[in-house]
Amino acid sequence: MKRDAGFTLIELLVVIAIIAILAAILFPVFARAREKARQSSCLSNMKQLSLAVLQYVQDYDERWHRHYFAMPSALAQPDGSAPTSDFIWTHMIYPYVNNVQVFHCPSNPEDMTFRSASSYNYSFNYHGAGLFNHRKLAEINHPAEKLVYVDGGSYIASPFSSPGANPDLRTDPGGHYYIDAVKAWHNDGCNVAYADGHAKWEQYMKVIKTVDMWDPRT
C-alpha cells in the first residue's frame, strides 16, 4: 500500500527534539554574543567619561570634580527628568559628552535617572570616601592604577566611616555613608575608567578587594 506523504507522529517528535537541542546549544551562544556587544558599548562609555573628566580637569585648575553639592535652586535635567537642586558629578561632566546615554550601561536593568546623587548607572569613586573630590591632578599617585568610574547601580548605606571622609559625602539619617555599589554586569566583571584616561574590563573581586585602586594617595 502506498504511504501518504507527510510526517508521522514519531518523526515530528524527533524533529521537535532536534530543534530543542539546537536551541539549547545556540541560545546561550547568542546571549553571550549580545552581552559582549553590550560590554563593548559600556566600555566605550567609560572611555568617553574618562576623557571627558580629563578635559574638565584642564578647565578647572587641574582639580577633579566633586561628587555632589547642593544648589540654591532646582536645575533642569539633561534627560528631561524633574528638576533638582542636587548638582552631581554627572552634571559637571555632561557638557563634555553632550549625551545622557553615555552615563548608562546597556547591561544595567535598573531604572536609573540623571538627577539624583544616589541614582545613576556609573559610580564615581565613592568607596575612597570622596578622596578624589576636588583633588589636584598632580596629587594623584599612580593615575594609571586609580579608579575613577566603575560599573555601578543603586547605592547602599555603609555602616563604616572612613579616615578619608569628605563633607561632600551624603549620609543617611543614621550617619552612614552612601556607597554606590560596584556591579558585575559583564561576565563576572565590570568596566572601569582610570585616572590617566584609559578604560578596561576588570574582574569584580579584584575591583572590590584591591583597596589601593580606590585611594589616590597610595
Q: Is the pTM here over 0.85, yes or no?
A: no
pLDDT: is 112 or 134 the higher one? 134
pLDDT of 137-171, one tens digit each? 899 999 999 988 888 765 544 444 443 444 444 45
Distances (CA, A) of 172 to 94, 130, 148, 179: 27, 16, 23, 11
pLDDT of 51-109, one tens digit each? 999 999 999 999 988 876 666 666 666 666 666 666 778 888 889 998 888 888 888 87
Instruction: Give the residue-averaged pLDDT of 30-35.
Output: 78
Distance (Å, rounded) from C-alpha 69 to C-alpha 106?
28
Q: What residue spans define the domains of the chain? A: 9-213
Whole-number average pLDDT of the chain:
76
Exposed, middle or buried, 203 (CB in 10 Å: 0-12/13-18/19+)? middle
- The residue count for the chain: 218
* Residue 175 region by backbone torsions, left for phi larger than 0, else alpha for psi between -120 and 50, else beta: left
